[in-house]
């Protein structure tokens, strides 16, 4: 690598953490941050969960961030109540995220009608449509495509190869991963003019501030109004959101979730991986739905459930235990079902 | 926006609908079309389903298209037997789809061996391989990639960032959304030459006329022959079709459906979201399969079912109701199973 | 097509197969290879499975490769113990894969800091980041994006529009299909600094030699260390692998599989389509899991199962058979449940 990798002494790094440096190692040079098991001399590491204490004992890390009162024999440790804050400090130092500085690649296509803040970065082969607006400090990776009239806020980061269709709106400090499509046509056909006819989708998608969207996810534009993702909601990879879906703020959708048209999901909702939600439903605030669930009816706020049929986790587990026994039960119950006992 | 938004008087719009304009509002200027709830003065709206009648009463819409005999007190309504036709007229006026006019972006790569009709639009950074054929009136959005020898019909629209692999064939009036991959290699390995060895896939994909394919869907090419999607079939987002799958005409596949290799799906089939279909099956014409179903055997024409095991909807619902009761049933049935009653 | 299609006499083709040519047809010219049903005069075909013998009888193929002792009346057959090896010979002749020859498209962006072997092919609009390394004989299709510091081995083929994020490592003889994203951020948030905060993902993805990855699959980079796909593992389309997942060598993951964070999958494992695996699990070597399964606990090596709950296939089938009968069973068992019999 031609770039100089960042390095820092233990003394200076501890100053960034706001904790005193352990004695005797203040001049040790730190060059990275990683897990206890992977750490090599020169690495910072951290004890995020007590169960990893044994790994902390044997880690080669030069410096270990631990919660207060952690009982390990290592002397090269520093205590922080918020260990993850220390980890973030390390990541920010050793893996500093680039900031936008107005680097517009000469191959980026930017029509005169666009309003692009001066410090925006546009990668190679980016294509902006007419009348696109991009806020200060936003970075658009190579091959990003932004349709006519789309609006993107400030300090947003579109990884390489993201497509935002015409007129859609993306907020500030949003992170969108590669391969995401925002604003594809919803799936809408009606019996008209003698056939099952496509109704062109003329609504938009609105992504509010601080949302993150995982790789290869597809979010359809509304038929007429808005498909909307609330602030601070986090979406994983390969998710499908149909037209007119709305997700409240602070929700979490894990990989391969699919939500059908016009369903309204509340705030603080968790939908675990591969869960499917039918159309035109209302999922209340704070619902927590486990992986591979089928949501086929409205859910009141705070519903916790998993599976198909959707049940509370303990009930679901008991149901599955009985399901496994069904062949045996059936055999034994045959007399009560008015059937011959099975011949052995 | 630099473009002038389209506008039209009620009189002129009603002329397009082929209905008389309501009295007294003929000169009102219309500037858009949207739902009853979203409509603002100047918008056309529509009553597509009777259950929205209350919204029609309170809508701010300047003009409302309703079915004949709709009992609402609004006077700014027009009656049409085919409401959706009226809606389409509105969408076509206020959100006119661009038509191809021979705009080839200077960055589009078009080898001399290609046969591209004169009025075809090619977006920025489009890459055509050798010997590509593209019919009249087709538009290929930015970053489209068309492989060697591929053929694309007339009036087809490839949204930005669509990949059509070599030798595949796409019909006329087809719509393909962003991120779609047509003609990726099927998953085929055979035990040969001393290992589990990849058999290169040398067949193609054929997309017939009037098909629509949703964002980030992937359709594998055949091993030797054709993977084929029948005319007027509509596919949603993030679908997987394996090699040699064939789908008949007028079928509907919803989001995240997966169909394994060589399965033949008939005409007029509906497969709802997240359904999986095993390989080498035959799914008859007119089958209607609900969401999250597992299709693991051949289905005769007209089969209607849902779930895993696949059952008629009423049966499935009853089964799920009993499933929920299984833990309770098991407890009560223990004496008949020759087991001790559970201690409470 | 401007290219001359390849052709060969039966005599010369049989010499390639290492078998004697059938009498009397040595001068027949062969121009392609396909299935028995599709074959036209001039095509080679093959009898891969005995059940297709009737098709072999009626095939128009000019030459048919069959296993030793195949009882069909055709005289234009050649016997090979390893029929698929013969098929591969045909595919290699009639559909020869291009080899890299140093064709770097003038629009490919290659910073001076990159180390690209002289015979590497880079397609149109390829974007390499800083310090990218690419080994001999590798081909990167149009619109490939390779992030800073990424390393790609020799004789690897990236189909058009593949994204490899910064610092990820791809081995030799790897095949990656269109739309794949390698190295997207894992889904990691921790309660720190007063909010549910994104922990930037600073690990990498390592793809070992001879792996194949299907279209539109997304593989997240590790939080700190590695997400790793073992040698010769084959992955289908639209798969989700979360951060820190490791897959052993010689495994097979079929379409739409999802594996949650930090799960370790062994060698020689098969996960069939749409199966979901929870986080932090260990799936032993040689496990074979059927389609649409839910893996929610560790699996010892050699586990064979399917479904949700996960059961051996025969047990699963019996369970499903009883599930179908549950409504009927419930009705008949009501007296034993202390309930009134249902009124008919």
Whether C197 shows a pLDDT value over 50: the answer reads yes
Average pLDDT taken over every residue of chain A: 95
Work out the average pLDDT over A116-133: 98
Put simply, whether B331 touches C (Cβ < 8 Å) is no
All residues of chain C having their beta carbon less than 8 Å from the beta carbon of residue B202 are 33, 91, 94-95
All residues of chain C having their beta carbon less than 8 Å from the beta carbon of residue A178 are 145, 163, 165, 181, 184
Whether A106 shows a pLDDT value over 70: the answer reads yes
Name the closest residue on chain B to residue C44, using Cα atoms. Answer: B224
Confidence of residue B341 (pLDDT cuts 50, 70, 90): low
pLDDT of residue C86: 97
Q: Do residue A224 and residue B274 have CB atoms under 8 angstroms apart? A: no
Put simply, whether A308 touches B (Cβ < 8 Å) is yes
Mutation target among A97, A214, A317 for the C interface, most CBs of C within 10 A: A214
Whether B108 shows a pLDDT value over 90: the answer reads yes
Confidence of residue B205 (pLDDT cuts 50, 70, 90): very high
C121: nearest Cα among B202, C183, B147, C135:
C135
pLDDT of residue A2: 39
Put simply, whether C276 touches B (Cβ < 8 Å) is no
pLDDT of residue B342: 54
Instruction: Give the ipTM of the model, two decimals please.
Output: 0.95
pLDDT of residue C51: 86
Q: Do residue A327 and residue C329 have CB atoms under 8 angstroms apart? A: no
Q: Which of B107, B214, B307 lies at the smallest CB-CB distance from A184?
A: B214
SS (H, E, C) chain B: CCCCCCCEEHHHHHHHHCCCCCCCCCCCEECEECCCCCCCCCEEEECCCHHHHHHHHHCCCCEEEECCCCCCCCCCEEECCCHHHHHHHHHHHHCCCCCCCCCECCCCECCCCCEECCCCEECCCCEECCCCEECCCCEECCCCEECCCCEECCCCEECCCCEECCCCEECCCCEECCCCEEEECCCCEEEECCEEEECCCCCEEEECCCCEECCCCEEECCCCCEEEECCCCEECCCCEECCCCEECCCCEECCCCEECCCCEECCCCEECCCCEECCCCEECCCCEECCCCEECCCECCCCEEECCCCECHHHHHHHHHHHHHHHHHHHHHHHHHCCCCCCC
Which of the other chains make 3 or more beta carbon contacts under 8 angstroms with chain C? A, B
pLDDT of residue B177: 98
pLDDT of residue A4: 64
pLDDT of residue C1: 37
Q: Do residue A192 and residue B1 have CB atoms under 8 angstroms apart? A: no
Mind listing the pLDDT tens digit for each residue in B218-237?
A: 999 999 999 999 999 999 99
All residues of chain A having their beta carbon less than 8 Å from the beta carbon of residue B330 are 322, 325, 329
pLDDT of residue B4: 64
Confidence of residue C344 (pLDDT cuts 50, 70, 90): very low
pLDDT of residue C5: 80
Confidence of residue C3 (pLDDT cuts 50, 70, 90): low
Work out the average pLDDT over A286-295: 98
Mutation target among B240, B242, B312 for the C interface, most CBs of C within 10 A: B240
- B-contacting residues in C 6-45 (Cβ below 8 Å): 33-35, 37-38
Whether B318 shows a pLDDT value over 60: the answer reads yes
All residues of chain C having their beta carbon less than 8 Å from the beta carbon of residue A323 are 309, 319, 323
Q: Which residue has the tokens 């001076």?
A: C112
Whether C343 shows a pLDDT value over 70: the answer reads no
Put simply, whether C330 touches B (Cβ < 8 Å) is yes
Mind listing the pLDDT tens digit for each residue in A225-245?
A: 999 999 999 999 999 999 999
pLDDT of residue A341: 57
Half-sphere exposure of A203 (CA within 13 A, CB side): 26
Q: What are phi and psi of B20, to 5 degrees?
A: -70, 145
Work out the average pLDDT over C7-20: 97
Say if residues A211 and A174 touch (Cβ distance below 8 Å): yes
Mind listing the pLDDT tens digit for each residue in A26-50?
A: 999 999 999 999 999 999 999 988 8
Average pLDDT taken over every residue of chain B: 95
Mind listing the pLDDT tens digit for each residue in C214-247?
A: 999 999 999 999 999 999 999 999 999 999 999 9
Put simply, whether B63 touches C (Cβ < 8 Å) is no
Work out the average pLDDT over B46-58: 90
Work out the average pLDDT over A320-343: 88
Mind listing the pLDDT tens digit for each residue in C58-102?
A: 999 999 999 998 989 999 999 999 999 999 999 999 999 999 999
Q: Which of C38, C85, C97 lies at the smallest CB-CB distance from B225?
A: C38
Above pLDDT 70, what percent of chain A? Answer: 97
Whether C18 shows a pLDDT value over 90: the answer reads yes
Mind listing the pLDDT tens digit for each residue in C251-301?
A: 999 999 999 999 999 999 999 999 999 999 999 999 999 999 999 999 999
All residues of chain A having their beta carbon less than 8 Å from the beta carbon of residue B336 are 332-333, 336
Whether C191 shows a pLDDT value over 60: the answer reads yes
Work out the average pLDDT over B283-290: 98
Say if residues C64 and C56 touch (Cβ distance below 8 Å): yes
pLDDT of residue A52: 87
Mutation target among C91, C326, C339, C342 for the B interface, most CBs of B within 10 A: C326
From residue C214, alpha-carbon distances to B144, C179, C257 in Å are 19, 9, 12
B271: nearest Cα among B241, B243, B227, B231:
B241
Whether A273 shows a pLDDT value over 90: the answer reads yes
Q: Do residue B224 and residue C35 have CB atoms under 8 angstroms apart? A: yes
All residues of chain B having their beta carbon less than 8 Å from the beta carbon of residue C307 are 308
Confidence of residue C339 (pLDDT cuts 50, 70, 90): confident
């Amino acid at each position: 690598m031609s770039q100089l990798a960042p390095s820092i002494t233990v003394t200076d790094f501890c100053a960034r953490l706001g904790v005193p440096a352990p004695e005797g190692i203040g001049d040790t040079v730190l060059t990275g941050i990683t897990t206890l098991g992977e750490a090599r001399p020169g690495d910072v590491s951290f004890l995020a969960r007590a169960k990893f204490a044994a790994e902390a004992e044997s880690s080669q890390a030069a410096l270990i961030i631990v919660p207060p009162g952690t009982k390990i024999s290592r002397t090269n440790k520093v205590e922080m109540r918020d260990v993850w804050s220390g980890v973030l400090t390390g990541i920010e130092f050793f893996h500093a995220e680039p900031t936008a500085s107005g680097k517009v690649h000469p191959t980026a296509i930017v029509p005169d009608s666009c309003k692009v803040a001066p410090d925006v970065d546009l990668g190679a082969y980016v294509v902006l449509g007419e009348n696109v607006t991009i806020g200060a400090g936003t970075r658009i990776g190579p091959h990003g495509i932004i349709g006519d009239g789309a609006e993107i806020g400030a300090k947003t980061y579109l990884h390489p190869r993201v497509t935002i269709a015409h007129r859609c709106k993306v907020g500030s400090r949003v992170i969108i991963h590669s391969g995401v499509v925002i604003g594809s046509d919803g799936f809408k056909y009606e019996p008209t003019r003698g056939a099952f006819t496509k109704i062109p989708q003329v609504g938009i998608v609105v992504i509010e501030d601080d949302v993150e969207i995982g790789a290869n996810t597809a979010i359809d534009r509304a038929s007429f109004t808005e498909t909307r993702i609330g602030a601070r909601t986090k979406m994983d990879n390969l998710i499908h959101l149909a037209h007119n879906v709305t997700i409240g703020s602070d929700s979490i959708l894990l990989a391969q979730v699919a939500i059908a048209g016009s369903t309204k999901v509340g705030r603080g909702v968790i939908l675990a991986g591969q869960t499917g939600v039918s159309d035109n439903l209302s999922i209340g605030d704070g619902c927590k739905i486990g992986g591979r669930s089928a949501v086929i009816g409205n859910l009141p706020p705070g519903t916790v459930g998993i599976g198909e049929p959707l049940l509370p986790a303990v009930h679901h587990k008991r149901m599955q235990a009985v399901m496994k026994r069904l062949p045996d039960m059936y055999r034994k119950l045959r007399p009560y079902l008015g059937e011959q006992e099975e011949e052995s």
